[in-house]
Amino acid sequence: MRKLTAAKVAALLVASAVLTGCAAGEPRDLSPMVTAEPPMPANATINPKIEAPGGGEDDCGDPTVSLKPQGTAIPPGSTMDKIRKRKKLVVGVDQNTFLFGFRNPTTGQLEGFDIDIAKAIAVKLLGHPSAAQFRAITSQQRIDALKNGKVDIVVRTMTINCERRKDIEFSSVYYVAGQRVLVKKTSDYDSLKDLGGKRVCATSGSTSLRNIAQSPAKPIPVAVDNWSDCLVMMQQGQVEAISTDDTILAGMAQQDPTLKVVGERFTEEPYGIGIPKENKDMVRYVNAVLDEIRGGEWQKSYNKWLKPVLGSDSPPKPKYR
């Protein structure tokens, strides 16, 4: 009897040893922690290095004062003469900003307020709107494209300021926008002040991005190539807000009914046409064309693109020296 018990104990011990031996293993790891990080637009950078404005801001006086127009005659040898000879006006534009410069997917053509202004110049200079050859450039590329002579003019929601004036010339002001903030309709944010520590998107090389970075509330700036990339990040929940000119924000709000533009304009952004610094004759010519269209075509284009979202407005008064 005792022996039997001993045998039983031994058997139990062996069995438990076998069992614990089995339990020591694990099922094959199937990586239960699979997470797909949501993708970001190409070249999106969170908290990028932003160059401090070089030198004082006010060293050029009022940057919006441009060269006085001297009619639309084209003297031989002038910049306009060269453009006329090659029969193409190369214009740096945006193809991603709704209402200002964007590609209409139905026609493949570029459309918008900026595009209309560029076409008006092409019509005056070369007789036909299709003489404007558009090159899509990013905010960042605007000044280099002018300096390298890749484009004749840039019509791309470009704010006139003293820093840029060091590198390029500007036409007279053709529109005045102001920076505001785009947030979700369901959010409680009223301005940039409420967005401390939150991600706020703008394009690289834009004045808007710098304004976000310099905001005392210290939001985290997020830089992308194109304005619609900001909208994509907003829709993917990767940024809390977008802050730039009210004009651009209005175009985004049009594309997404769950977003709203909030707060007061906290900057003034006078848009000008960028022109290479050495082409003073072109600046005068463009100003002459702008003077001509301020009455009719400007209003027509404004009413078509911007009035429905921004209300009635009239062209800003040019200042000349």
Partner 1 sequence: MPISTAAQPHPPGQLPPPGHPQGDSRGKSGLRGVVGLAGEAMRTVLRSWTTTPGRLALIATGLVLLTLITGLTAAVMTQQKTDAVSELTDRREPLAAAAQQVYRALSDADATASSSFLSTGEEPPALRARFENDIAQAGVFLARAASDPDAGPEVSRQIDIIGKYVPVYAELVGTARANNRQGFPAGAAYLREASELMQSTILPAAEALYEADTKALAERQAEARSVPWLTAVLVIGLLAALIATQLYLKRRTNRVFNIGLVVATGAIVVGLLWSSAALITQSVLIGSSESQGSEQVDRLVRARIAGLKARVDETLLLVSRGEGEQYAKEFAKEAQEMAGKDGNGGLLAEARAAADEQDELAETLDKAQASATAWLKAHDKVRKLDGEGEYLEAASVAIDDTREDSSARAFNQLDVDLRTAILHGRQSFFDNASDAGAALTLLPWGWVALGLIAAGGVAVGMYERLREYR
Burial 117-128 (b: 16+ CB within 10 A, else e): bbbbbbbbbbee
* Minimal distance, residue 70 CB to partner 1, in Å: 29
Q: Is residue 172 near partner 1 by the rule CB under 8 A?
A: no
Hey, which residues between 139 and 168 contact partner 1 (CB under 8 A)? Answer: 141
The DSSP bridge pattern shows strands 45-46 and 220-224 to be antiparallel
Site for partner 1 (CB under 8 A): which residue of 45, 70, 104, 314? 104
Reference 227, options 212, 208, 210; nearest CA is 208
With a CB cutoff of 8 Å and minimum separation 6, the contacts of 204 are: 43, 45, 48, 138, 139, 140, 223, 224, 225
Binding segment for partner 1 among 131-139, 164-172, 261-269, 292-300 (CB under 8 A)? 131-139
Contacting range for partner 1; rule: CB under 8 A; set: 224-232, 257-265, 284-292, 293-301: 224-232
Residue 93 pairs in a beta bridge with 136
Per the structure block, which two tokens stand in for 48? 């990028």
Q: Is 136 in the site for partner 1 (CB under 8 A)?
A: yes
Phi, psi of 257 (to 5 degrees): -70, -5
CA 108 to chain centre: 21
Q: Shortest approach of partner 1 to residue 133 CB, angstroms?
A: 3
32 scored as a contact of partner 1 (CB under 8 A): no
CB of 106 to partner 1, least distance (A): 6
Q: Which of 67, 120, 168, 231 binds partner 1 (CB under 8 A)?
A: 231
Asked if residue 108 binds partner 1 (CB under 8 A), the reply is yes
The answer to whether 171 and 67 have CB atoms below 8 angstroms apart is no
Least separation in angstroms between CB 137 and partner 1: 6
Q: How many residues bind partner 1 (CB under 8 A)?
A: 39
Residue 31 near partner 1 by CB under 8 A: yes
Which of 16, 109 has the CB closer to partner 1? 109
H helices of the chain, where? 2-23, 79-86, 113-126, 142-147, 162-165, 207-214, 227-235, 246-255, 280-295, 297-305, 307-310
Nearer to partner 1, 22 or 36 (CB): 36
| 309 binds partner 1 per the rule CB under 8 A | no
Q: Which residues bind partner 1 (CB under 8 A)?
A: 31, 34, 36, 38-42, 88, 90, 95-98, 102-109, 133-138, 141, 226, 228-229, 231-232, 235, 252, 254-256
